Structure 1
Amino acid sequence: MENNNLLIISSTRIILPDSIEPTPGTIEIDKNTGKIIKIHPYKSSINDYNDQNQQFLDVGENIVMPGLIDAHVHLNEPGRTHWEGFETGTKAAAAGGVTTVIDMPLNSIPPTTNVNNLQEKINAAKGKCWVDVGFFGGVIPGNQDDLVPLIKAGVKGFKCFLIESGVDEFPCVNEKDVRNAFENLQGQDSFLMFHAEMEGNNTNILETELKEYYEQIPPNNYEKFLLSRPQSLELNAISLIINLTKQYKNRVRSHIVHLSASDAIPLIQQAKSDGINLTVETCFHYLCLSAEKIPNGKTEFKCCPPIREESNREKLWQALLDGTIDYVVSDHSPCTADLKKFNDREEERDFMKAWGGVSTLQFGLPILWTEAKSRGVSFKQLSTWLSKNTSKQVGLHDRKGEIKVGFDADFVIWDPEEKFEVINDLIHFKNKVTPYLGKHIFGVVNKSIVRGNIVYDKSNGGLIEIPYGELLV
């Protein structure tokens, strides 16, 4: 029987799982279910579909790619909705081709550390999401008995800090706390993520030969902050993570979030070679920005761990290309302008006191593509880093992350050759504080589609008015 509620997308360049290069094709979507029902290996024309209830989109040579899955986003609602929120954050995601976000357990109040707190977050999110949203749980001292109930309630994994998080309601854990979490997570279909910075005997800048030099650096100079977060912090943490994962005989999956220290790459490579159950992500800002180019007072560049030197950036790229790093996320961690010290004159903005977090959510695809295209990266690699591997990580690989029959019809349709400038008027996240302001980048998102619903259409006014996003719990 003919389906009269079809969305048909036709393009010369579709990223399919079994093709190395983009291929011509036509995708048929059942709008009732939001699922892909057919993929034809040729580009159709509107004359092939003449039912008035069928919507035909000929997107020409635009790339049709699986919608991005950003598995590291701080939406901050409830409690710090003046920093971000489900509405503004997911609108920014939709405008950037991100069709699924996984929300971090902080910096909301309360944090997602037990089922009651998760329910508060779910209640806050209902009816406000322009893309699909999943949730991570948090591991803090003493909440090990809350982990399994949170899994049963639908969280996609757990996050902990091995150094102070910056917010009082989400304290960091020590080795004993991690062991307690591992004990409870054994045998569960989940994983434990680590903010992998940890103090040690080798990390106190004030006890080294750099002390005098460090104290002379003015606080508006990025180098002062960079020296305060050395690579050794990440090495300390990653060594502990690998050792504990090995001790528990891989019965718990471990994951390193936002890797910035290239010195840790050999350690990670050896662990993976040894069969340690370890995955790793890095962020757009570590791959596309470098410390040498951060001007004095530009606190919008501050994040933890920090953006490091150009030589470090090149090594991260190599680790991504060779598979040591599994995927790329935004770590969209917004705040208000005053917390970035924007109320101070630029020459007086203190990197040591400003909030650490980079706002990227809407611009990750073009930022990464602009850098990747000069390195010969393929669209297939891009899609693997931004969709396929993240879907596997958070247990959505049976419905998202690839363009396959039976999968959710989540797509980003974009022009990789078109260039644009990041300006305030384009930004949809709440606080328009980002290091990418004024940058000219390649890759214009023309449409974002979530389960067969067009949620962003550049040629038709941008964001639609209806929040079609579902909560993935």
Structure 2
Amino acid sequence: MSELDARSLPADLVLRARQVVTPEGIRPAAVHVRDGMIVAVTDGVPRGTDVVDLDDRLVLLPGLVDSHVHVNEPGRTRWEGFFTATRAAAAGGITTIVDMPLNCIPPTVDVAALQAKRDAAEGKLHVDVAVWGGAVPGNAAELAALHDAGVRGFKAFLCDSGVPEYGCVHPTDVSPLLQRIADLGSTLIVHAEDPDVCADAAASLDLRNPRSYNTWLDSRPPEAEVAAVRALVAAVRETGGRVHVLHLSAAEAGEVIGDARAEGLPITVETCPHYLTLHAGDIPDGATAFKCAPPIRDRANADRLWDLLADGVIDAIVSDHSPCPPEDKAPDTGDFLAAWGGIASLQIGLPLVWTAAKERGHDITDVVRWMGEGPARIAGLTDRGRIAPGARADLVVVDPDVEWTIAGAALEHRHPVTPYQGRTVVGAVDTTWLAGTPIVENGRPVGPPRGRMR
């Protein structure tokens, strides 16, 4: 950009770095921000321009997007809440989250519940928050109004959700539901485990050692994901509706999705840091902090998930942040079948993924694609997840090489339970800007909540 052009774009903030992650790759650049938006990305700046210069070791990323977060407010705010969840997101370089419609009470299955959630969030948001709506038996008449009220899509469970107020949709009933959602121009997002396969597995369990992780693992076999995904592919083929598969655990199910994509079917899929960086064989007896659904599988499966990421089959990496009070993890008994299933990793997803990705030869642009661009695209948030003119000035400065050790008590989410306690990672967030305003400095959240409901 010439000096004359730059002067025609007066900026509130200009950030200059040797390593800026743009859609075209990493390059030296100056990012010009005005009124909370990126107005230009230039090679240089005119003389006299006030510039914030970043240290050469630091990398400037777009704010990340986490499209799978259980905030749990209202109703189960003792598990988590908007204030603590969004502080954790900001500290982790995430500037937009999309909240799931369950674990809160009431679940977001009608407009009144959506308004209750928006009221509960007032004044508490450190980052921006969008919302998924729920698709449950009995709320078909509510879907259009929820869509008009701004939900990003609709979530269905194909198996028991784990909470009594959120019913599930059997795989045989998916096609008519998908058709209704397609008619709205929206997306069906799905917890894809087949209930009949899970029931058969549970009936044959050896229950003599519920402290063994294998007891939990055997109750949710890969075949449950494969069967559910096959049902979803058939529904997409029948209706043409868009489906997004949540938290892929079983790589075999991902390969089914890859084949469907090769057909041109509109189906996308995400996975989570725990499926990529934790392995079933390493989980000790009674270590219920590792319980989630679908379960963490073996190392060979994780390797196949990384291959699916590299091949572009998996679109996004998200947290599935699903915290609970420590006592709900059954710490006294270590009973995997009794413990709540969910992992809290909202703040630490970036270093977990970057550490593992770097070891596998990926660069930081891959991580941004998986944790910024991909989730934003899935949720239809077209103005974020990238550093480019016209995008929101949600920006993150990362030291990609600093090494540190995860301690649950130092994290910002409500409860310190984490399966990553004591794990050494590389990469740390230094500064986060939300719409051009700093909300994290020196790795710590600063200032009042500045986020908005989208």
**Number of the residue aligned with 1:467:** 449
Structure 1 distance, partners of 2:315, 2:23, is 17
**CA displacement at 1:164 relative to structure 2:** 0.4
3-state SS in 2 of match to 1:15: strand
The aligned amino acid for 1:10 is R
Report what 2:219 is aligned to.
Answer: 228
- CA offset at residue 426 of structure 1? 2.3
Q: Does 1:9 find its partner at 2:37?
A: no
Q: What's the counterpart of residue 109 of structure 2?
A: 113
425-434 vs 354-363, which moves further: 425-434
1:111-151 Cα offsets, whole Å, 9 max, x none, are: 00011110000111111000010000000001111111111
CA distance in structure 1 between the partners assigned to 2:144 and 2:429 by the alignment? 39
Q: Which residue of 1 aligns with 2:81?
A: 85
1:435 aligns with 2:397: no
Match of 2:349 in 1: 364
Tell me how far 1:265 sits from its aligned partner: 2.8
C-alpha distance in 1, partners of 2:78/2:54?
Answer: 40
Q: Deviations over 1:268-308 (max 9, x none)?
A: 12111112111010001000100011111110000000000
Rounded to whole Å, the distance in 2 between the matches of 1:215 and 1:468 is 49
Matched, 1:244 2:235: yes
| 321-330 or 169-178, which deviates more | 169-178
Distance 1:220-1:130 versus aligned 2 partners, 3 A rule: same
Alignment of 1:57-456 (within 5 A): 57-175=53-171, 177-200=173-196, 204-205=200-201, 214-216=206-208, 218-248=209-239, 250=240, 252-342=241-331, 344=332, 348-397=333-382, 399-456=383-440
SS at 1:362 equivalent? coil
Whether the 8 Å contact between 2:193 and 2:224 is mirrored in structure 1 is yes
Deviation at 1:5, TM superposition (A): 6.3
Contact 1:140 1:177 in 2 (8 A): no
CA contact (8 A) 2:101 2:133 kept: yes
| Gap change, CA 1:215 and 1:82, over 3 Å in 2 | closer
Calculate the TM-score normalised by the size of structure 2. 0.95
Runs of 4+ aligned residues of structure 1 deviating over 4 Å after TM superposition are: 1-5
CA RMSD of aligned residues (A): 1.8
Shift of 1:465: 2.5
My pick for the range that moved more, 77-86 or 4-13, is 4-13
Q: What is the distance in 2 between the residues matched to 1:426 and 1:412? A: 20
2:3 alignment counterpart: none
CA distance in 2, matches of 1:27, 1:148: 40
The CA distance in 2 between the partners of 1:149 and 1:190, in whole Å, is 12
Contact 2:171 2:228 in 1 (8 A): no
Distance 1:349 1:126 in 2: 38
Q: Give the letter for the 2:439 counterpart.
A: V
Unaligned stretches of 5+ residues in structure 1: none
SS in 1 for 2:183: coil
1:181-200 superposed Cα distances (whole Å, 9 cap, x missing partner): 22322233320011000123
CA distance in 2, matches of 1:201, 1:231: 9
Separation (CA, whole Å) in 1 of partners of 2:198 and 2:394? 46
Are the counterparts in 2 of residues 203 and 233 from structure 1 also a CA contact under 8 Å? no
CA distance in 2, matches of 1:97, 1:206: 39
| Structure 2 residue identity aligned to 1:221 | S
C-alpha distance after superposition, 1:234-290 (max 9, x if no partner)? 111111111111111x1x101110010122233212111112111010001000100
- 8 Å Cα contact 2:158/2:169 also seen in 1: yes
User: Following the alignment from structure 1 to structure 2, what is the Cα–Cα distance between the partners of residues 134 and 444?
Assistant: 25
Q: Percent identity?
A: 39
Match of 1:39 in 2: 41
Deviation at 1:2, TM superposition (A): 7.6
Tell me if structure 2 keeps the 8 A contact 1:456–1:464: yes
CA positional deviation for 1:13: 0.2
Change (3 A) 1:48 1:439: farther
Contact 2:152 / 2:186 at 8 angstroms: preserved in 1? yes
Say if 1:141 and 1:172, in contact at 8 Å, map to a contact too: yes
Partners of 2:202 and 2:97 in 1: CA distance = 40
Does the CA-based 8 Å contact 2:158-2:194 persist in structure 1? yes
Are the counterparts in 2 of residues 11 and 61 from structure 1 also a CA contact under 8 Å?
A: no
The worse-fitting range, judged by mean Cα deviation, of 199-208 and 387-396 is 199-208
Counterpart Cα distance in 2 of 1:285 and 1:191: 25
User: Aligned AA for 1:362?
Assistant: Q
Contact 1:49 1:56 in 2 (8 A): no
Structure 2: distance between partners of 1:202 and 1:219: 17
Taking the aligned partners of 2:353 and 2:380, their CA distance within structure 1 comes to: 24
Shift of 1:381: 1.2
Give the deviation of 1:77 after TM superposition. Answer: 0.2
The one-letter amino acid of 2:223's match is S
Q: Deviations along 1:215-238, whole A, 9 cap, x unmatched?
A: 44x111111110111111111111
Task: With the length of structure 1 as denominator, give the TM-score of the two structures.
Answer: 0.91
Say whether the 8 Å CA contact 2:202–2:219 is kept in structure 1: no
Contact 1:62/1:413, CA 8 A, preserved across alignment: yes
